[in-house]
Amino acid sequence: MGLLDTISSPEDLRQVPADRLDDLAAEIREFLVDSVSRTGGHLGPNLGVVELTIALHRVFESPRDSIVFDTGHQSYVHKLLTGRHDFSKLKKQGGLSGYPSRAESEHDIVESSHASSSLSWAEGIAKARVLAGEAHRHTVAVIGDGALTGGMSWEAINNIAVERDLPLVIVVNDNERSYAPTIGGLADHLAALRTTRNYERMLDWGKTTIKGTPVVGDFVYETLHGVKRGIKDIVYPQQGMFEDLGIKYVGPVDGHDEAAVEQAFRRARAYGGPCIVHVITEKGRGYQPALDDDADRMHGIGKINPETGLPFEVAGRIWTDEFSDEMVRLGKERPDLVAITAAMMIPVGLDKFAEAFPERVVDVGIAEQHAVTMAAGLAYGGMHPVVAVYATFLNRAFDQLLMDAGLHHAGVTFVLDRAGVTGSDGPSHNGMWDMSICSVVPGLRLAAPRDGDQVKSQLREAVEVDDAPTVIRFPKGDVAEPLAAVRTDGSLDVLHDAVEPQVLVVGVGAMCPTALQVAEKLEAQGHSTMVVDPRWVLPVPADLVRLARTVPHVVVIEDNLVTSGIGVAVAHELAEQRVPAQVHTFGIPKTFPDHASRSQVLEAIGLTPDVIGTQLIAQLSAHE
């Protein structure tokens, strides 16, 4: 039995002798590589926080003390140390979530896996403790340097700075990257702090002088009020940034020296007010394939060979690839095209564009709000920006989409990757709200490509629009085979035709294959059915309204929130135009689907051809 097998709670961890902690760290890394290589998951981030997490649970007493993980993809070690050792179904239906989950453990607090929110959560929790007379209970936020690029983090810091007695510790896990290397002024500042690791040692060596007199480290450090900052500002003028804001700063600390991290945490806990502990870690630590290759490729992985770090199967072509290649082609044709992303250059497929046109790509960090408003400014200046983000992260910039892009008729194209059900990444990563959000923006035009060919052609159409925001959205995973139209009817692609149809089925984007299968089931029961792909679904096309006048029933199938999606928009438009057809809507219910594969989620919510077909046949029969 290894050390890890003996740990089912933080109390057990605190009983492990200090001289065995390096052995425990090695066991944990071996466990992570072995387990995550079998299931897929976030490997690199967790390999980097092993000692940090051990120290957290030895110094702070969860759940009495609250530990909040920003984003939460680095919580695997936390799960192990709080008794969750079965990783066999990680991120799969019925198994452990890839993020903190309140249903799994009392040690988990924040389930949302959107970045930069941990400091606000932590301030709220810590303030609640004080108001309840429980100031002895500490709150710890673990946030990466990448998440610190998000504006919400700095809104929180601005408020935390005036809470002088708040029992709050902010752990900055500085590994110089989020999905990719962290960029921006803050990244430069943290990099400079790393170069002054030996600052206190310099004082001890007496190499710093005041008015020509050598300084003895302990004397200056402990007894000369105000001198410490003066010396620090000489060595590196901006090192006092956090303390100048009113927050105690400890560090930088070697994040792989468990004893040093523990000592830093104990100092922070004893301080009695907000304190930042700056911990330097290495993403992918201890796993040579990650260190030899690209640590970002090991950020989130599928099943891999643990010996080589290579995937067992060669990845097929995905939806993102279609966008990526077409952006490069468009970049060659249009010098006004500018690409923007929020710390996800590779995941959203802009890396090729960045290689070809480095001067025309901007990575703003985890700052979607800034990305959208900056894009509006670029459009005003004569450029055509393409903002590429995950669909779920558009939620974070709704106000900017509405007031900066929409109100100002800005010619900005938004490309939403991983739209619809994404599955294994859990409830906060499903892209199930984007069409609902976009539907309330006046003038916005939204396209939902049904296959890779449509991604390319509709992207071209989108960037031609210079007087309104445009949106292209597509799902995660392997791209669908091209689905040719049998004919066009105005702006609509007819995918399945019928003479005098009784039912018009509208497939939205990736749900077009499902719409065709539903049509087969309806026709098998004697219901003549036509299937169309509107291509541009917002605003509701006039040609769709025209065609709806010819049938008694219109069916809309989409992978968006059904209560406020395209189906609702179609029903409203038909009512406005006094079209008598009955509208049947099928989409994602107003819930947060649990993590599972995409197909399992679709099955669970009834968004499959069999379920939709059965329900429709019953509804049509009721109206005969």
DSSP code string of 207-250: --EETTEEPPHHHHHHHSTTHHHHHHHHH-GGGGHHHHTT-EEE
Average pLDDT over residues 140-157: 86
Average pLDDT over residues 549-557: 96
Q: Quote the crossing angle between the two packed helices 319-333 and 452-463, to the nearest 10°.
A: 40
Cα gap 333→459, rounded to integer Å: 14
Tokens 């929409």, residue located: 406
How much is the pLDDT for 235? Answer: 37
Q: What is the pLDDT of residues 19-42, one digit of tens each?
A: 999 999 999 998 888 888 888 888
Eight-class DSSP state of 405: I
Please indicate, yes or no, whether residues 513 and 427 belong to a single structural domain of this protein.
no
Please indicate, yes or no, whether residues 285 and 331 belong to a single structural domain of this protein.
no
CB distance 143 to 310 below 8 Å: no
Task: Check pLDDT > 80 for residue 613.
Answer: yes
- Among the ranges 172-176, 204-208, 542-546, 604-608, which has the highest mean pLDDT value? 542-546
Q: How confident is the model at residue 165 (pLDDT cuts 50, 70, 90)?
A: confident
Task: Check pLDDT > 60 for residue 433.
Answer: yes
Cβ neighbours for 573, distance < 8 A, ≥ 6 positions apart: 539, 540, 545
Length of the chain: 624
- Comparing 510 with 178, which gets the higher pLDDT? 510
- Comparing 529 with 39, which gets the higher pLDDT? 529
Cα gap 101→106, rounded to integer Å: 9
Q: How confident is the model at residue 106 (pLDDT cuts 50, 70, 90)?
A: very high
Please indicate, yes or no, whether residues 380 and 496 belong to a single structural domain of this protein.
no
Share of the chain above pLDDT 70, in %: 85
Q: Please report the sign of the dihedral spanned by the C-alpha atoms of residue 356, residue 361, residue 364, residue 368.
A: negative
- Averaged confidence pLDDT in the chain: 85
Please indicate, yes or no, whether residues 436 and 384 belong to a single structural domain of this protein.
yes
Cα gap 421→599, rounded to integer Å: 9
Please indicate, yes or no, whether residues 373 and 277 belong to a single structural domain of this protein.
no
Please indicate, yes or no, whether residues 336 and 427 belong to a single structural domain of this protein.
yes
Average pLDDT over residues 493-507: 95
* Number of domains into which the chain is organized: 3
Specify the CATH number for the domain of residue 491.
3.40.50.920
Cβ neighbours for 448, distance < 8 A, ≥ 6 positions apart: 419, 435, 473, 474, 508, 509, 510, 535, 537, 558, 566
Q: How confident is the model at residue 428 (pLDDT cuts 50, 70, 90)?
A: confident
Q: What is the pLDDT of residues 256-282, one digit of tens each?
A: 989 999 999 999 999 888 999 988 888
Share of the chain above pLDDT 90, in %: 54
Among the listed residues 145, 138, 124, 129, the one whose alpha carbon sits nearest the alpha carbon of residue 273: 138
Cα gap 93→438, rounded to integer Å: 31
Eight-class DSSP state of 465: -
Eight-class DSSP state of 478: B
Q: How confident is the model at residue 202 (pLDDT cuts 50, 70, 90)?
A: very low
Please indicate, yes or no, whether residues 466 and 582 belong to a single structural domain of this protein.
no
| Ramachandran class of 164: left when φ > 0, alpha when ψ lies in -120 to 50, beta otherwise | alpha
Please indicate, yes or no, whether residues 517 and 596 belong to a single structural domain of this protein.
yes
3-state secondary structure labels for all residues of 127-191: HHHHHCCCCCCCEEEEEECCHHHCHHHHHHHHHHCCCCCCCEEEEEEECCECCCECCCHHHHHHH
How much is the pLDDT for 192? Answer: 58
Minimum mean pLDDT range among 2-11, 132-141, 401-410, 593-602: 593-602
- Comparing 198 with 328, which gets the higher pLDDT? 328
Of the residues 412, 447, 473, the one at which a domain ends: 473
Of the residues 473, 502, 522, the one at which a domain ends: 473
Cα gap 195→8, rounded to integer Å: 39
- Is residue 282 domain-resident? yes
How much is the pLDDT for 215? Answer: 39
CB distance 303 to 39 below 8 Å: yes
- Is residue 195 domain-resident? no
Core vs surface per residue 321-354: b (16+ CB within 10 A) or e: bbbbbbbbebbeeeebbbbbbbbbbbbbbbebbb
How much is the pLDDT for 481? Answer: 86
Q: Which amino acid is at 559?
A: D
Eight-class DSSP state of 304: B
- Comparing 217 with 401, which gets the higher pLDDT? 401
Tokens encoding 614: 């059965």
How much is the pLDDT for 545? Answer: 97
- Is residue 192 domain-resident? no
- Is residue 307 domain-resident? no
Task: Check pLDDT > 90 for residue 355.
Answer: yes
Please indicate, yes or no, whether residues 142 and 253 belong to a single structural domain of this protein.
yes
Domain ranges, residue 30: 4-182+248-292
How much is the pLDDT for 216? Answer: 38
Residues at the binding site are 73, 113-115, 145-147, 175, 287, 368
Instruction: Please tell me whether the peptide bond between 449 and the residue prior to it is cis, using omega within 30 degrees of 0.
Output: no
Q: Cα–Cα–Cα angle for 562, 563, 568, nearest 5°? A: 85
Q: Which residues are catalytic?
A: 283, 368, 396
Among the listed residues 103, 102, 96, the one whose alpha carbon sits nearest the alpha carbon of residue 39: 96
How much is the pLDDT for 435? Answer: 95
- Is residue 209 domain-resident? no
Please indicate, yes or no, whether residues 404 and 533 belong to a single structural domain of this protein.
no
Instruction: Please tell me whether the peptide bond between 17 and the residue prior to it is cis, using omega within 30 degrees of 0.
Output: no
Specify the CATH number for the domain of residue 327.
3.40.50.970
Average pLDDT over residues 91-111: 87
- Is residue 413 domain-resident? yes
Among the listed residues 424, 297, 309, 294, the one whose alpha carbon sits nearest the alpha carbon of residue 34: 309
- Comparing 211 with 180, which gets the higher pLDDT? 180
Among the listed residues 300, 302, 299, 289, the one whose alpha carbon sits nearest the alpha carbon of residue 478: 302
Residues at the binding site for Mg(2+) are 145, 175
Task: Check pLDDT > 90 for residue 185.
Answer: no
Task: Check pLDDT > 70 for residue 570.
Answer: yes
Q: How confident is the model at residue 154 (pLDDT cuts 50, 70, 90)?
A: confident
How much is the pLDDT for 315? Answer: 65
Cα gap 581→270, rounded to integer Å: 69
Of the residues 473, 497, 525, the one at which a domain ends: 473
First to last CA, the chain: 69
Helix (H) or strand (E) holding 252: strand 248-254
- Order of strands, sheet of 492-496, starting from the edge strand that comes earlier in the sequence: 487-489, 492-496, 529-533, 503-507, 553-561, 582-588
Q: How confident is the model at residue 183 (pLDDT cuts 50, 70, 90)?
A: low
- Among the ranges 224-238, 297-311, 570-584, which has the highest mean pLDDT value? 570-584
Q: How confident is the model at residue 309 (pLDDT cuts 50, 70, 90)?
A: low
Residues at the binding site for thiamine diphosphate are 73, 113-115, 146-147, 175, 287, 368
Task: Check pLDDT > 90 for residue 411.
Answer: yes
Please indicate, yes or no, whether residues 506 and 444 belong to a single structural domain of this protein.
no
Core vs surface per residue 613-623: b (16+ CB within 10 A) or e: beebbeebeee
- Is residue 203 domain-resident? no
- Is residue 27 domain-resident? yes
Task: Check pLDDT > 60 for residue 404.
Answer: yes
Please indicate, yes or no, whether residues 440 and 468 belong to a single structural domain of this protein.
yes
